[in-house]
């Protein structure tokens, strides 16, 4: 395969073709190439080998039970201190109403993530899950990141396995991939000093996998991190996946600076975002899925990212306004796409749109919703 004017990319193409693992240096070289079409082609070859033209989306809703958080992450525009006027915590009744709206709109998944709120007892979270599960037994509860699970274990003085078991018994079906940010120090300490460190995030993922649940993984890019931080992040995830095998999907999250303590930064460019999708697909050879998260990328870049190795666009994502108020590039519009719109985006890019559930099984509906 000799398709690039970049000799290093030709070398890496041979390696990928032969099914060989890419190294740290290879990852950096992929990022450094200026031959974007060849990088896209290479990532797309790997993606088509795994998934053909199939591109997944789901019908989901984000639900943030509380925005009160002590973590004080520099990149976050969502959290509030308890005294701020717009700090909130949803009670169970509210939560059921929000989940009920989602179910009525055809959601198969509720994505639940909140702040690290020390005013709440652990029973708030188990009661929340149990009530949601009882009212909507078919709604998949993708709930709590490794950072929240770490907080639960430390703050409520429980061991990790107990936390995971109790959440699972209450109704937690899988975990989203947030809180990974950038693993490597000093960058991690500079952007999220009060979150658990990389080893803890990774080992908790292993424990959730050992309990039989799937999780996702993310990487927040386009702020103060450098290329080496990113490649290191991907390799640590690949190593953990070799050990515990329960990651389903990797989601690179494009940093959105507005309303954060890093608002002076520009955020990643379109090219940087497309490269990040492609490098992720090529480095994470043991991750089944790469998601182009349209809320952060914008619909247009997310659509093009399907040609750079992504095989998932996330979901229709209705929310209660939290996403659009905090960190969505689509904030001028409602953070929402209809099924028709998301499927059209995929088909228009030359792929086949398949609605999936959280565990990537195709959803068969009796009546087609739009």
Residue 268 is a binding residue for ligand V47 (CB under 6 A): no
- Judged by DSSP in three states, 44 sits in helix
User: Is it true that the peptide bond before 312 is cis, omega within 30 degrees of 0?
Assistant: no
Q: Which of 318, 248, 335 is nearest to 100 (CA)?
A: 318
Site string for ligand V47, 219-238 (x = CB under 6 A): -x------------------
Residue 9 or residue 113: which is nearer to ligand V47 going by CB? 113
When CB distances to ligand V47 are compared, the closest residue is 178
Which among 2-10, 13-21, 30-38, 70-78 is the span making contact with ligand V47, rule CB under 6 A? 70-78
Contacts of 118 (CB under 8 A, 6+ apart): 70, 155
Residue 150 is a binding residue for ligand V47 (CB under 6 A): no
Least CB distance to ligand V47 at residue 128 (A): 18
Least CB distance to ligand V47 at residue 252 (A): 10
CA dist., res. 95 & res. 63, Å (int): 8
**DSSP string covering 239-298, please?**
HHHHHH--EEEEEEEE---TTSTTTTS----HHHHHHHHHHHHHH-TT-SEEB--HHHH-
181, 232, 319, 355: which one contacts ligand V47 (CB under 6 A)? 181
75, 124, 201, 250: which one contacts ligand V47 (CB under 6 A)? 75
Least CB distance to ligand V47 at residue 251 (A): 5
Least CB distance to ligand V47 at residue 299 (A): 15
Contact 355, 339 (CB under 8 A): yes
The phi and psi torsions of 82 (rounded to 5 degrees) equal -60, -30
Q: Which of 251, 314, 248 is nearest to 60 (CA)?
A: 314
Task: Please count the other Cβ atoms lying within 10 Å of the Cβ belonging to residue 223.
Answer: 22
144, 255, 287, 294: which one contacts ligand V47 (CB under 6 A)? 255
End-to-end CA distance of the chain: 43
Reading phi first (left if > 0) and then psi (alpha if -120 to 50, else beta), residue 181 is in left
Least CB distance to ligand V47 at residue 144 (A): 11
CA dist., res. 289 & res. 310, Å (int): 7
Beta bridge partners of 254: 221
Task: Please count the other Cβ atoms lying within 10 Å of the Cβ belonging to residue 263.
Answer: 12
Residue 252 is a binding residue for ligand V47 (CB under 6 A): no
54, 58, 89, 216: which one contacts ligand V47 (CB under 6 A)? 216
Site string for ligand V47, 281-320 (x = CB under 6 A): ------------x--x-----------------x------
Least CB distance to ligand V47 at residue 23 (A): 26
Residue 328 is a binding residue for ligand V47 (CB under 6 A): no
Site string for ligand V47, 15-54 (x = CB under 6 A): ----------------------------------------
In the sheet that 109-112 helps form, which strands lie side by side, from edge to edge? 60-63, 109-112, 140-143
Contact 119, 68 (CB under 8 A): yes
Residue 33 or residue 60: which is nearer to ligand V47 going by CB? 60
Residue 26 or residue 109: which is nearer to ligand V47 going by CB? 109
16, 46, 76, 297: which one contacts ligand V47 (CB under 6 A)? 76
54, 260, 276, 303: which one contacts ligand V47 (CB under 6 A)? 260
Residue 253 is a binding residue for ligand V47 (CB under 6 A): yes
Residue 78 or residue 125: which is nearer to ligand V47 going by CB? 78
Residues in touch with ligand V47 (CB under 6 A): 75-77, 113, 176-179, 181, 216, 218, 220, 251, 253, 255-256, 260, 293, 296, 314, 327
């Amino acid at each position: 395969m000799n398709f690039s004017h970049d000799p290093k990319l030709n070398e890496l193409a041979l390696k990928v073709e032969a099914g060989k693992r890419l190294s740290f240096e290879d990852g950096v070289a992929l990022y450094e190439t200026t031959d974007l079409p060849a990088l896209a082609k290479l990532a797309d070859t790997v993606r088509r080998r795994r998934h053909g033209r199939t591109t997944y989306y789901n019908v989901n809703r984000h639900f943030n039970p509380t925005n009160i958080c002590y973590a004080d992450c520099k990149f976050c525009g969502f959290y509030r201190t308890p005294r701020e006027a717009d700090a909130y915590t949803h009670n169970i009744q509210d939560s059921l109403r929000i989940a009920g709206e989602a179910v009525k709109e055809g959601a198969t998944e509720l994505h639940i993530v909140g702040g690290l709120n020390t005013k709440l007892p652990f029973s708030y979270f188990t009661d929340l899950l149990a009530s949601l599960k009882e009212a909507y037994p078919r709604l998949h509860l993708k709930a709590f990141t490794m950072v929240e699970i770490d907080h639960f274990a430390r703050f409520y003085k429980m061991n990790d396995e107990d936390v995971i078991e109790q959440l699972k018994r209450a109704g937690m079906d899988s975990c989203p991939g947030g809180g990974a940010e950038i693993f490597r120090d000093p960058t991690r300490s500079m952007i999220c000093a009060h979150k658990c460190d990389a080893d803890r995030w990774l080992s908790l993922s292993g424990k959730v996998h050992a309990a039989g649940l799937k999780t996702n993984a993310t990487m927040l890019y386009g702020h103060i991190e450098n290329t080496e931080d990113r490649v290191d992040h991907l390799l640590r995830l690949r190593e953990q996946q070799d050990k515990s095998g329960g990651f389903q999907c990797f989601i690179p999250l494009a940093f959105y600076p507005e309303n954060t303590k890093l608002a002076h930064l520009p955020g990643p460019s379109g090219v940087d975002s497309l490269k990040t999708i492609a490098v992720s697909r090529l480095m994470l050879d043991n991750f089944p899925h790469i998601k182009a998260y349209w809320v952060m990328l914008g619909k247009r870049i997310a659509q093009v990212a399907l040609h750079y190795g992504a095989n998932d666009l996330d979901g229709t994502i209705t929310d209660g306004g939290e996403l659009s108020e905090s960190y969505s590039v689509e904030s001028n519009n409602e953070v929402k796409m209809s099924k028709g719109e998301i499927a059209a985006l995929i088909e228009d890019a030359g792929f086949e749109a398949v609605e999936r559930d959280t565990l990537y099984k195709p959803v068969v509906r009796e009546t087609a919703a739009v």
